[in-house]
Structure 1
Amino acid sequence: MISYFRSILPSRLILLVLLYLAIRVPLILLGIPATVPELNFMLVGERMADGFAMYREIYDSTAPLSALVYWIIDVLAGRSYLTYRLVAAALLLAQALLLNATFTRNKVYPTSNYLPALLYLTLGCLTLEFEMLTPMLIGNTFVILSLPYFITLSREGLDNSRLFIGGFMLGLAALSFLPLALFLLMGLFAVIFFASAAFRSSLLMLCGFAFPYAMLLCYYLFTGTVGSFLELHLLRPWRFEVSFLIPATDLAKLLVLPALVLALSLFSMLSLSQRLVFQVKFQQLMVVWLIVSLMVILSRDEVSAASFLVLLPPIAYFSEYLFTSRLKAWILSLIYLTVLSGVVLLRYRQQLGISAIVKIDESRILLPTAPAQPVQGTSVLVLGNDITYYIQNKLATPYLNWRLAQRHFGQLNEYDAVFALYQNFKKEPPAYIVDKQGLMATLKYKLPTIFEAYEPTATPAVYKRRYR
């Protein structure tokens, strides 16, 4: 089977896409489970579609370019998990083909093949979180698009305008998911490996990276949102901590297959004879990519399976060394079939009835299928981290991200914070408030003109606004 994809004939591409769809499409037909991250993305897109400005009237750390994508989806399809999954599937397919085309066009391997795309798409179906339209998935597309602009300098002379475009692509990646700005390190190493005037070329790349931010800041300056953008997104402290969104043992189960492929591939790479100078330099660049990817994972506030999506490009690159090694063809095919079978078993474990054997706790990611909610079809504000109340309701006021909402709710002894609460609630009073933090008594004391209008309901911690 592996030998079939050691060619770039059109028939190989067709079979590659069909194999990818054969794994993905049945999952969509069997039902799409709703997830907490996707609901959060939908709330961002929905409020933007309702005319509210990101960061000024939506307190969330979602990167601006990703928020723009969610806004477009909401305008076209509303709250549609199907649309999110289809766009995510198309992006993953595009990434695999773009990466493989870059490898083929620049001859980073002795022979051209579809093996990197094959492994990229196979491992891209490993978990439910890879199927979500996350900011990392969106940003990873731009990182892959930047690669050809860095590696072709030594082959095409001093066309340094390509460095500006490469930096621009990395800027768009960071505007999609801020930690991807760490890939500037990869760009700097690419300049060292491939460019002639390293210092001048590095400045050109950095100018390209800064250009989309300069345009965005001009827009935010015009709309009076620069301060909120800096506070809620750009200048948020980076915490190099590990807080697991799913249990570490379950995460390890999901990562066994890609870790096995990566380990075998690196071992195969070390055992091969020396290649062309360009290929060796590119190999070193992909090692840097691998290290930067690990840094991106650790820079996140929470680590989950979705965090490891950024590792797919280097794993796909190094896998070619494994599947073109001197091992017998049937052994290589057996290795790939083991990986493919493992992916299918993990993704279809519930349908195959083996979820009791292969337990993956995704309860913190999945939304309840039929939540018993006392409030439906109205505007709600939840004082806390429970966003399940927004499944059948709309968010009122900018306070989507509770941690970021602490800039006001966590400083009720400060006049500026209380006044900001007054302005936000006066402009957009929610029909219901769900008080998960026990703040209503304090809020009624601080702002009686706003919160005295809310009275308790039969459901504990749920307050309804009286209409006068």
Structure 2
Amino acid sequence: MISYFRSILPSRLILLVLLFVAIQLPLILWGIPGTAPELLHMLVGERLADGFTMYHDIYDNTAPFSTLVYWLMDVLAGRSFLAYRLAALALLLVQALLLNATLNRHNVYASKDYLPALVYLILGSISFELNMLTPLLIGNTFIILSLPYIITLSKEGFDNNRLFVGGFMLGMAALSYLPLAVFLLVGIFAVVFFASSTFRSMLLMLCGFLFPYAVLLTYYLYTNTTQEFLEMHLLRPWHLRVAFLRPPADVAKLMAIPVAVLLLSLMSVASLPQRLVFQVKFQQLMWVWLFTSLLVIFTRPEISVATFVLLLPPIAYFSQFFFTSRQKPWVLNLVMLVMLVSVLVLRYRQVLGINRFLLLDESPLLLPEQALPMQDATVLVLGNDVRYYMQNKPVTPYLNWELAQRHFGRLDEYQAVFEIYQNLSKEMPAYIVDKAGLMPELQYKLPAVFGKYRATGDEAIYRLEDSI
């Protein structure tokens, strides 16, 4: 298997794509219940498609470019988990092929092949979470796109525009998911390793990084939403804590295979013979990439298997040194086969009926499939329970309950109450689901709006009198 992909013939590329599709597509078509993060992304896209403005009419901290992607997805496919999964599938494939093409084009290894892409796509199939169209997955594409530009061997006055483009790609990654701005460190180290005029080159890359933000801030200045953009997205506090979206033991089980491949690869790197200067510098850059990825992963507000997509590029790069090492061919093929079979077992464990042995619990991420007391209605949820939006339409800016606390968490302040009144006066939902227990206080302080709602037979659900 390894010897087959140690070539760049078109037939190898075709088989690589077919192998990836064969692993992923059956489960995607089979259907996996939707997740809460995906539903929130769909709601953002839906509100944008309805003509509302991000951060002004939609309180959510999703990065600007990612919201543009979700708007486009809603225009093309509406609320379709299948469309979102297929888009993520295509994005993962593009990332693997772009990374592999960059490695081959710049002669990073002694030979050209498709082994890095093979490892990338196999490990990228380890969990359905990597099939979610997250801002992190979108931003990771721009990180990979920046690579061929930031490793340019620049000379004074020669091809310096490539560093600007590399910085621009890093800026777009940050506009897709803000913590990816940390990858500017990778760009800085690339300038130190490869550029001849370090200070000039660094300024050029920094200008490229800031350019998309300058354009975006200009737009928000004209739309009078600069303050909201700064508050909800750009100046959000950095979270130095680890919070898992699913049990840490499950994340550890799923990540055991990628970590094992990474460790084997790093041990192989230590026994490498002397190589070209460019190849040594590139390897040093990939070490920086690896540590930067770990920094972003473990400083995220929420950690799941999907966050480890950032590790796929460095793992794919370093794995080449193990799978082309001097180990016996049967040993290398056995490791590759074990990796492939393990991924297939983990992905198809429900179909094979072996999850009772693996004890992997996906329920914290999945949306419940129970019937809701209302359908095809406009709804406002006071709380984090987004399942009520599955078959209903959200209204008012309060999508993200954490950001909604800027108003609902300050009901003792006149300005916050007035803002709630203004937002609810524009869009009166047919139902309010009060998971936070705020309705009695809201009805007392804003009877002109919340006094029109009456409790229903279902707990915590209030219905607008006009909709009865």
TM-score band by shorter chain is over 0.9
Amino acid at match of 1:361: D
1:144-293 to 2 correspondences below 5 Å: 144-154=144-154, 158-293=158-293
Is 2:460 the counterpart of 1:455? no
The CA distance in 1 between the partners of 2:185 and 2:254, in whole Å, is 28
1:16-35 to 2 correspondences below 5 Å: 16-35=16-35
Amino acid at match of 1:437: A
2:351 aligns to what SS in structure 1? coil
Contact 1:153 1:160 in 2 (8 A): no
1:350 aligns to what SS in structure 2? helix
Question: In the alignment, what sits opposite 2:371?
Answer: 372
Report which stretch shifted further, 375-384 or 23-32.
23-32
The CA distance in 1 between the partners of 2:258 and 2:155, in whole Å, is 32
Gaps of 5+ in 2: none
The CA distance in 2 between the partners of 1:387 and 1:186, in whole Å, is 37
TM-score by length of 2: 0.98
1:381 aligns to what SS in structure 2? strand
Cα gap change, 1:229 to 1:387, in 2 (>3 Å) = same
Amino acid at match of 1:406: Q
* Aligned residues between the structures: 467
Question: In the alignment, what sits opposite 1:343?
Answer: 343
Report which stretch shifted further, 144-153 or 255-264.
144-153
Cα gap change, 1:94 to 1:156, in 2 (>3 Å) = farther
Is 2:308 the counterpart of 1:304? no
2:379 aligns to what SS in structure 1? strand
Identity %: 66
Contact 1:106 1:152 in 2 (8 A): no
Task: Using the TM superposition, give the Cα deviation of residue 200 of structure 1 relative to its aligned residue in structure 2, in angstroms.
Answer: 1.3
Superimposed CA distance per residue, residues 44-94 of structure 1 (whole angstroms, 9 cap, x where no aligned partner): 000000111111011111111000000001011100111111111111101
Task: Using the TM superposition, give the Cα deviation of residue 194 of structure 1 relative to its aligned residue in structure 2, in angstroms.
Answer: 0.3
Amino acid at match of 2:372: Q
Amino acid at match of 2:344: V
Question: In the alignment, what sits opposite 2:395?
Answer: 396
2:349 aligns to what SS in structure 1? coil
Task: Using the TM superposition, give the Cα deviation of residue 113 of structure 1 relative to its aligned residue in structure 2, in angstroms.
Answer: 0.7
The CA distance in 1 between the partners of 2:391 and 2:293, in whole Å, is 37
1:66 aligns to what SS in structure 2? helix
Contact 2:136 2:176 in 1 (8 A): yes
Question: In the alignment, what sits opposite 2:410?
Answer: 411
1:385 aligns to what SS in structure 2? coil
The CA distance in 2 between the partners of 1:353 and 1:189, in whole Å, is 48
Cα gap change, 1:182 to 1:339, in 2 (>3 Å) = same
Amino acid at match of 1:271: S
The CA distance in 2 between the partners of 1:414 and 1:199, in whole Å, is 50
Task: Using the TM superposition, give the Cα deviation of residue 129 of structure 1 relative to its aligned residue in structure 2, in angstroms.
Answer: 0.5
Task: Using the TM superposition, give the Cα deviation of residue 372 of structure 1 relative to its aligned residue in structure 2, in angstroms.
Answer: 2.5
Task: Using the TM superposition, give the Cα deviation of residue 199 of structure 1 relative to its aligned residue in structure 2, in angstroms.
Answer: 1.2
1:271 aligns to what SS in structure 2? coil
Task: Using the TM superposition, give the Cα deviation of residue 154 of structure 1 relative to its aligned residue in structure 2, in angstroms.
Answer: 4.6
Task: Using the TM superposition, give the Cα deviation of residue 157 of structure 1 relative to its aligned residue in structure 2, in angstroms.
Answer: 7.8
1:153 aligns to what SS in structure 2? coil
Report which stretch shifted further, 357-366 or 153-162.
153-162
The CA distance in 2 between the partners of 1:5 and 1:284, in whole Å, is 26
Question: In the alignment, what sits opposite 1:436?
Answer: 435
The CA distance in 2 between the partners of 1:295 and 1:396, in whole Å, is 37
1:10-21 to 2 correspondences below 5 Å: 10-21=10-21
Contact 1:91 1:141 in 2 (8 A): yes
The CA distance in 2 between the partners of 1:128 and 1:438, in whole Å, is 35
Superimposed CA distance per residue, residues 133-191 of structure 1 (whole angstroms, 9 cap, x where no aligned partner): 11011100000000000112259983211111000000000000111100000000000
Moved over 6 A (4+): none
1:45-124 to 2 correspondences below 5 Å: 45-124=45-124
The CA distance in 2 between the partners of 1:154 and 1:234, in whole Å, is 32
TM-score by length of 1: 0.98
Amino acid at match of 2:435: K
2:454 aligns to what SS in structure 1? strand
Question: In the alignment, what sits opposite 2:8?
Answer: 8
The CA distance in 1 between the partners of 2:237 and 2:15, in whole Å, is 45
Amino acid at match of 1:395: P
1:368 aligns to what SS in structure 2? coil
Contact 2:66 2:175 in 1 (8 A): yes
Superimposed CA distance per residue, residues 329-357 of structure 1 (whole angstroms, 9 cap, x where no aligned partner): 11100000000001000000000110101
The CA distance in 2 between the partners of 1:331 and 1:220, in whole Å, is 57
Task: Using the TM superposition, give the Cα deviation of residue 373 of structure 1 relative to its aligned residue in structure 2, in angstroms.
Answer: 1.2
The CA distance in 2 between the partners of 1:156 and 1:455, in whole Å, is 72
Cα gap change, 1:211 to 1:154, in 2 (>3 Å) = closer
The CA distance in 1 between the partners of 2:262 and 2:102, in whole Å, is 20
The CA distance in 2 between the partners of 1:420 and 1:263, in whole Å, is 53
The CA distance in 1 between the partners of 2:258 and 2:61, in whole Å, is 30
Cα gap change, 1:264 to 1:157, in 2 (>3 Å) = farther
Report which stretch shifted further, 439-448 or 181-190.
439-448
